[in-house]
Structure 1
Amino acid sequence: MSSDGEKVRTSGEVSRAEPTLPTVNPAVEKREPPKAAFHPALYVTVWITLSSSVILFNKHILDYAEFRFPIILTTWHLAFATFMTQILARTTTLLDGRKTVKMTGRVYLRAIVPIGLFFSLSLICGNVTYLYLSVAFIQMLKATTPVAVLFATWGMGMAPVNLKVLMNVSIIVVGVIIASFGEIRFVLIGFLFQLGGIVFEATRLVMVQRLLSSAEFKMDPLVSLYYFAPVCAVMNGVTALFIEVPNVTMDHVYRVGVWTLLLNAVVAFLLNVSVVFLIGKTSSLVMTLCGVLKDILLVVASMMIWNTPVTGLQFFGYSIALIGLVYYKLGGDKIKEYAGHANRAWAEYGAQRPTQRKAIILGAGLLIFFLLIGSMAPSYAPDSVAQVKGMLGGATAGTA
C-alpha cells in the first residue's frame, strides 16, 4: 500500500508539474505574428501616399478642375467622415476607444464644439489657399506650424516661455521668410489665408492637448474624428450655405465628376484611418522624419506635375526651415544619438551585404539625379514636357 501510495503521490506530483512546462508557448508564439503582419515601412508608405494624394487631389479639384468652392468641398469631406465613423462604430472595433471617453452633453458643448470651430476655420483657410498658392509654397509655409503651436502653448499658459526654445524655432521662421522672398507667384491673400489656417490649426492642437491631458479623455485620431466631424460639418455647412451655395450649380459638380468627388472624400477619410495605424506602429522619430520626407516629395511633385517654378532662394530657405524643424522636434542630443545608431547599422549592413549596399547607393544617386533633371525640365525643355504630358492624356496639365 505504501508503495502504491508513493506511486500515486509521484504521479500526482508529475501531473501538477506539467502546466509549468513550456508546452503552450509555441501556440502563443504562433498567435503573435498576425499582430505585426505588416512591416512598419508599409504603414509609413501608405500614410505618405494618402497624405500627399489628399493635398494634390484637393489642389486639382479646387484649382485646375475649377471647382472653386473650398468650403463646400470641406463640408463634403466632413459629412462623409461623419457617415463613415458612424458605420465603423457599429460594425468594427476601430472606434472602441470611444467607450473609455466620458463624453457628456456638457463636455461636448464646452470642449468639442470650440475645438470644432477652430478645426473648421483651419480647414476652410487651408482649402481656400489652394486657389491662390502652389502646393510647393504651401508646404514651405506649413513648416511654421510647430512655431505657431509653441506660441499658442505659451499664450494659453500651458507652458512657460522659454527663450532658448524660441531661438531654436527662429531658424524655421528665418528659413520660411527666405523661401517666401524667393516665391515667384506670391499672392498676398493666399499667403494670409495660409497663415490664418496655421494659426487656427495651432490653436486647435493646443486645445486638444489640454483636453487630452486628462486620462478620461484620451482619444486616438479616429475617435477624435468621430466626435469632431459632425459639429465641423454643421459649422462648415452653415458657412457654405451663405457664402458658396448660392453660386454653385450642378454643372460645377458634373464638370469635376461625382465619382471624382466621392473618391476624394474616400482618400481623405482613409488618411485619418492610416494615421491610427501609423501611430501604433512607429515612433515619434519616424513620424517626424516621414513628415519632412512627405513635404519634400510634395514640393517635387508640384514642380513635376504642374510646372511650379521653385527658385534657388526658395530651396535654400526651405532647407534651412527643414533643418530647424528636425532640430526642434528631436533636439541636438537625440540627433547625435540616432545618427550614431544609423552609422553603426549602415556599417554592419555594408559588412554583411556589400553588394546590396552599393546597389542602394547607386539607386539613390540615380533617383536624386532624375528628380533634379525632372524638376528642371519645364525650364529647359518645355516642349518635351508638354509632349510627354500629352502622351499621358494631359490629365494633369495646367499652369499654377
Structure 2
Amino acid sequence: MSADEKDREHDTRTLEKAEEGGQTATGPQQKKIVIPGVIIIPIWMACSISVILYNKYVFTNLNFPYPVFLTTWHLFFSAIATRVLQRTTTLVDGAKDIEMTRDRWMKTILPIGALFSGSLILSNYAYLTLSVSFIQMLKAFNPVAILLISFAFKIQEPNGRLMAIVLMISVGCAMAAYGELNFEMFGFICQCAAIVFEASRLVMIQILLHGLKMDPIVSLHYYAPVCAAINLLIMPFIEGLEPLYNLHRVGILVLVSNAGIAFALNVAAVFLISVGSGLILTLAGVLKDILLISGSVLAFGSEITALQVLGYGIALGGLVTFRTTGGK
C-alpha cells in the first residue's frame, strides 16, 4: 500500500480537485492542507518501511502465518478509519466529487477491488517463504508488468525506449532472482502473481474509471470494504479458524498498531503527492527501497549476493527511467 505509479499519474488531477475543495477546509475560501516535503517524505518512507518489516515480523517472529487474516484485518480497519475521517476531517472530501451509482460500483469498484485483494494476499503470502530484500527486488518488475498489460489492451503503443526499459528491468530482476541464496518457488510464484494482479488493477483503473481520479484515502474508502468482504469469503477455505485460535500469539496491541501503521501510510501518501516534483518522489522511492532492503538485512539477517546488488542496480536504473519519463 504505497504511492507509486498510480499516485504519480494522478498528481495533476488530485491537485486540481484539492483546489476545488477535494482535500480542503470548508468555506468559501478553502485552503489546501500542505505538509512540507522535508517532513512528509521521511514520514512516508518510515511508514512504508515499517509496514513491510512489521508484517514480516508478525509472520515469522511471532509465528502467525496467516496472510489472508492479516490482510482482512487491515482492510476492515481501513474501512472504519476512512469513514471516521470522512465525518471528522476533510481528507476524504474527494469522495464528494464521485457519483457512485450501483452500476458504476458493480462495473468498476468490484472487479478492481477483487484484483486489489488478490494482490495484497499473494504479496503477503510471499513473505512467508521469501526474504524482504528479495521481494523488494522483484517488485522492481512492476513497471514491466504494467507496460506489457498496457500493450495487450492497446492502451500504450510499444516503442524503442519502452522496450529498452522492459529489457533493462527484466535482466536486472532475472539476475537478482538467480543470485538469491534462499530461493523458494512457492513464494516466488506468489510474488510474481501479486505483481500481475497489481499491474492488472492499475491498468483496469485506466480503462474502467475513464479519468475518474481517486487519492489513496478515497480509494481505500471505496475498495477496503469490498476487499474485506472478498477476503472473508475465501478465508474459511484457506486458513479456516486457525488465525482465531492463535490470536494470543500477536495480541490486540500488535494487531491495532500493525493496522494503524498500514493506514497511516495511506494518509501520508495523500500529503506526499502534493509536494515535490516527480523526480523528487522517484528518488525518495528509490531511497526507501534501498533502506528497506538494508533494514531487512539488519532485522532478519537476509543474505544478499553481489550478483543481486548488480542486478537490482540495473533494474533500478530502468525503474528510474520509467518513472521520470512518465512511462512514455
One fold, TM greater than 0.5?
Answer: yes
Q: 2:316 aligns with which of 314, 318, 322?
A: 322
- CA separation in 2, counterparts of 1:37 and 1:93? 13
Instruction: Please give the per-residue CA displacement for 1:251-304, whole angstroms capped at 9, x wherever unaligned.
Output: x21111211011000000010111000001222212211111111101101111
Give, in angstroms, the shift of residue 37 of structure 1: 6.8
User: Can you list the C-alpha shifts for 1:322-373, whole angstroms capped at 9, x where unaligned?
Assistant: 11211222249xxxxxxxxxxxxxxxxxxxxxxxxxxxxxxxxxxxxxxxxx
Counterpart code for 1:308: S
Gaps of 5+ in 2: 1-28
Superimposed CA distance per residue, residues 295-325 of structure 1 (whole angstroms, 9 cap, x where no aligned partner): 1101101111111111111111111111121
What is the aligned partner in structure 1 of residue 213 from structure 2? Answer: 218
Larger helix share, 1 or 2: 1
Matched letter for residue 171 of structure 1: M
**Which residue number in structure 2 is paired with residue 198 of structure 1?**
195
Amino acid paired to 1:206: V
2:98 is aligned to 101
- Are positions 1:84 and 2:90 aligned together? no
Q: Which residue of 1 aligns with 2:166?
A: 169
Alpha carbons of 1:172 and 1:37: their partners in 2 closer, same or farther (altered >3 Å)? closer
Q: Is 1:293 equivalent to 2:287 in the alignment?
A: yes
Q: Which residue number corresponds to residue 70 of structure 2?
A: 73
Counterpart of 1:308 (choices 302, 313, 316) is 302
1 CA distance for matches of 2:56 and 2:210? 35
Q: Matched residues, percent identical?
A: 46
Larger RCO, structure (CA 8 Å, separation 6 or more): 2
TM-score, reference length from structure 1: 0.72
Q: Partner residue of 2:10?
A: none
**Amino acid of the structure 1 residue aligned with 2:68:** I
Separation in structure 2 between the aligned mates of residue 244 and residue 236 of structure 1, nearest angstrom: 11
1:310 is paired with a residue whose SS is coil
Moved more, 204-213 or 321-330: 204-213
- The residue aligned with 1:354 is none
- 1:56 and 2:53 are equivalent in the alignment: yes
SS in 2 for 1:186: coil
Q: Which runs of 5+ in 1 are unaligned?
A: 1-31, 333-400
Alignment of 1:377-396 (within 5 A): none
Secondary structure in 1 matching 2:273: helix
**2:74, 2:259 within 8 Å by CA — same for their partners in 1?**
yes
Match of 2:248 among 251, 254, 257: 254
2:231 to 236, 241, 244: 236
Q: Distance in 2 between matches of 1:52 and 1:128?
A: 18
TM-score for the superposition, normalised by structure 2: 0.87
Match of 1:188 among 170, 185, 188: 185
| CA distance in structure 2 between the partners assigned to 1:318 and 1:220 by the alignment | 29
The number of aligned residues is: 298
CA distance in 2, matches of 1:282, 1:147: 25
- Residues 191-228 of structure 1 deviation map (CA, whole Å, 9 limit, x = unaligned): 000000000000001111234433xx222111111011
CA contact (8 A) 2:130 2:184 kept: yes
Q: Kindly provide the amino acid, as one letter, of the partner of residue 134 in structure 2.
A: F
Q: Is the 8 A contact 1:288 1:329 kept in 2?
A: yes
**CA distance, structure 1, for counterparts of residue 275 and residue 249 of structure 2:** 40
Q: CA deviation at 1:36?
A: 7.3
For residues 212 and 40 of structure 1, what CA distance do their matches in structure 2 show? 30
**Alpha-carbon separation, structure 2, partners of 1:223 and 1:106:** 19
Give the direction of change, closer, same or farther, for the CA distance of 1:89–1:235 in structure 2 (3 Å limit): same
Task: Name the CA distance, whole Å, in 1 between partners of 2:289 and 2:242.
Answer: 34
Distance 1:92 1:261 in 2: 25
User: Which SS does the other structure have where 1:248 is aligned?
Assistant: helix
One-letter code aligned to 1:93: T
CA distance in 2, matches of 1:37, 1:165: 34
Aligned equivalent of 1:131:
128
